[in-house]
Structure 1
């Protein structure tokens, strides 16, 4: 009975985390999730060799490929990242217990509770992408790093490297920590690192192929760097804010600005008053972010979710501060997290693109659909594979003559056409596709709007 009572708090926290992550889990797949589902549907050898335009290692694709055997619904497929998210709550509980044995047992429950209600973690526990797995593996890697279990560290660092390329920043941070504070462990850590590096050798040819594609992205898709990346001057504060407050924004820029200042004040306060020693957490939280920002000068890869594995470090810092000033810090941190959760759960504009309804609407029309890209977008391929889609933009930005040469024959017998404005500012900033359609004798009759997908223009002609 006593043993059952001892585990009851963490069981309640895990159930709370599960309940929060089930809210709105049936959202439509957005662009990246649909691309993930489509690519994961490929045969295993194509997942390994045939994703030259993609920039991710294969592990999560293999896992989704297996998951697809048992179902294709949004809810089912998202149970995979959801499972990783729930497991992460339990792992941070273990990490807090082992990392701070001299502190009250409350820190392990506080750490688990804060991760359970973290809006950023909830969001990515619901997303069919590798970021929930990245966070879990990163937490487990740090768990075995701090426990000096170097063989297991090698295993999880290898899994990290096969999950996302940003894993190298966490591994480099571990090396920096060993060199700075634990040099007697350098030999053991080096052996662990070499094991991971050796295990990664089979993937290196594909990595170089994907890397070349990423470095040349401005050549074939000008402007995409700005979509994938944040301005270097804004990147650090944006990463910290999003990790703590979630994917939240306010329509009023004044209110948003005040809230940003509030979040940074609470974060700074927690960092300052968190009891010593805390250097291992500070290094865990900030060094990967710094390495990411330096790398992003060459590769556009500095979005917050790429270093989601530092979030548990933030959580542990907050939990330690809560132990020192429980009423103040618990109230402030929980307020930030709950505001982020409520905003995400209740505001459609903070949720995912509604491609499911847009695809269903277009399928009912039984007529041509034009997208401002070279081919159908991934969500259309997932939700409406038989939809007649024309992608006339073969080079970016769109040029009138090539668009005309492709659209003219494609729409020769059509009296009605639907044009998606999705990615217009990137692929067709001068509205050349719109101009071609109008010059082919079509007139705009209606505008349809789907959350996140944007406007769909309906054209007709006699």
Structure 2
């Protein structure tokens, strides 16, 4: 028994090292993009402004608080800055191992879940992202593990740990409430077996809700919900019938850049789902383990509720916002190795192979984000001290504030689909200018940066208006980002 334990510990240690290597590799390759720049700039504000949600982020402030103090400890490089998310991503590997072991008491399942997490393209991609998603997943997994132990041991310490971790999770991302709902449903469905655990879960959830009220009041009090924290819910979009399929696939396999890879991952996803349902029907209801039931409930709540609302009323729902479900999809996939008399173990093996291929493609492939760092460095190297740098989109404006805060920069007013209110742009260190302002704020020369991420037709119209009345001195394109140098008013 001791030898088996040591072997399992060695396997987990190897997977943690492998996952760390895959997450540290190419950490500096991509520039920060719009959302990451918001994270960086928000974290650079004083603590009081983070707490007041000065940047009107749609996410609660815990990650920004942690990043604020992290920035005080590390060098100001993209590698060092992103390392916080990477550390959370590495810690997620043993966390999923521990949770899987609690659920199934099967080291093969636990090791498989840890291995899938270590090589998952999705988990590696967001370990490279200066956003809160790896922290969210770590806290939800930790909170679920504490809840599971609390039910088994009836330990007040474990209940406090579960409540504390889920409180931190909801202060990281609003969709953590959906994972908490899955836990609550689990306690309800097992009411007859453990009434005390149900009422303790109810009390824990009530305390979390009470503690979240200050942030909820802050969000609801924003003057313009369509541009503030509630913007994603306010922003209607065209219905994509494939989203209920692409969302869970993305949470397992990340992005796909080739037709054959997309076909294989869709095949493995559908095949596993169909055979899993067939296997589930073979198991008597009383034989479905508590861990498997909790896994399914969290997946249903975190994926099913947002996607159900999306089907009824399409809204802005990026797949990454469903990240709290990703660890439980991994655990469900790992559970397949227990069904020896079915194709599930082979499909789990195929999924693992496809994840490895996806991760290799990610590391060997081109950058996945626009090269804002290179574009900004070009301007820094060629700009004169008096030059104005005018961005037609906040997609380039906010990353440029991160890479060159010393420049006189502004974003063009009038965007029909702005990402933030004007007050946020100025709070982050720049300005908002209209085309008419060029006559007074520009001093001879100015730069126009066109990054066509959104409002493409409007941005092109603004550029045409600038080019019609000013002399073009130079033009560059770096990774799709167009950089123009104009002489003011001489055309």
Q: Fold match, TM over 0.5?
A: yes
Alpha-carbon distance change, 154 to 299 in structure 1, aligned in 2, over 3 angstroms: farther
CA 1:95–1:38: 2 relative to 1, 3 Å: same
Equivalence map 1:274-313=2 (5 Å): 276=283, 277=288, 278-296=292-310, 300-313=315-328
Alignment of 1:203-352 (within 5 A): 203-209=215-221, 213=224, 215-217=225-227, 225=235, 231=239, 233-250=241-258, 255=260, 258-259=263-264, 261-269=266-274, 271-272=276-277, 276=283, 277=288, 278-296=292-310, 300-325=315-340, 328-349=346-367, 351-352=368-369
Deviations 1:265-287 (A, max 9, x none): 34425634666523332222122
Q: TM-score, normalised by structure 2?
A: 0.81
CA contact (8 A) 1:375 1:390 kept: no
User: Which of these residues, 373, 381, 396, is aligned with residue 364 of structure 1?
Assistant: 381
* Partner-residue secondary structure (3-state), 2:72: helix
Q: Which of residues 29, 34, 37 in structure 1 aligns to 2:32?
A: 29
For 2:117 and 2:50, locate their aligned partners in 1 and report how far apart those are by CA, in whole Å: 32
Distance 1:222 1:29, change over 3 A: closer
**Contact persistence 1:374–1:394 (CA under 8 A):** no
**Where does residue 38 of structure 1 map in the other structure?**
41
TM-score of the superposed pair, with normalisation by structure 1: 0.86
Asked if the contact 1:230–1:303 (Cα under 8 Å) also holds between the matched residues in 2, the reply is: no
Match of 1:196 in 2: 208
1:55 counterpart residue number: 58
Secondary structure, aligned partner of 1:377? helix
Q: Distance in 1 between matches of 2:358 and 2:83?
A: 22
Structure 2 unaligned spans of 5+: 152-157, 419-432
Matching of residues 62-461 of structure 1 within 5 Å: 62-71=65-74, 72-101=76-105, 103=106, 105-147=107-149, 148=151, 149-182=158-191, 184=195, 185-209=197-221, 213=224, 215-217=225-227, 225=235, 231=239, 233-250=241-258, 255=260, 258-259=263-264, 261-269=266-274, 271-272=276-277, 276=283, 277=288, 278-296=292-310, 300-325=315-340, 328-349=346-367, 351-366=368-383, 367-373=387-393, 377-396=397-416, 403-411=434-442, 413-414=444-445, 417-423=446-452, 425-426=454-455, 428-429=457-458, 431-443=460-472, 446-450=475-479, 454-459=481-486
Contact 2:302–2:324 under 8 Å retained in 1: no
Counterparts of 2:456 and 2:145, CA distance in 1: 44
Contact 2:34 2:399 in 1 (8 A): yes
Aligned length: 444
User: Cα RMSD between the aligned structures?
Assistant: 3.1
Q: Which runs of 4+ in 1 moved over 6 A?
A: 220-224
- 1:56 Cα shift? 1.4
- Summarize the Cα distance change of 1:169–1:269 in structure 2 as closer, same or farther, 3 Å threshold: same
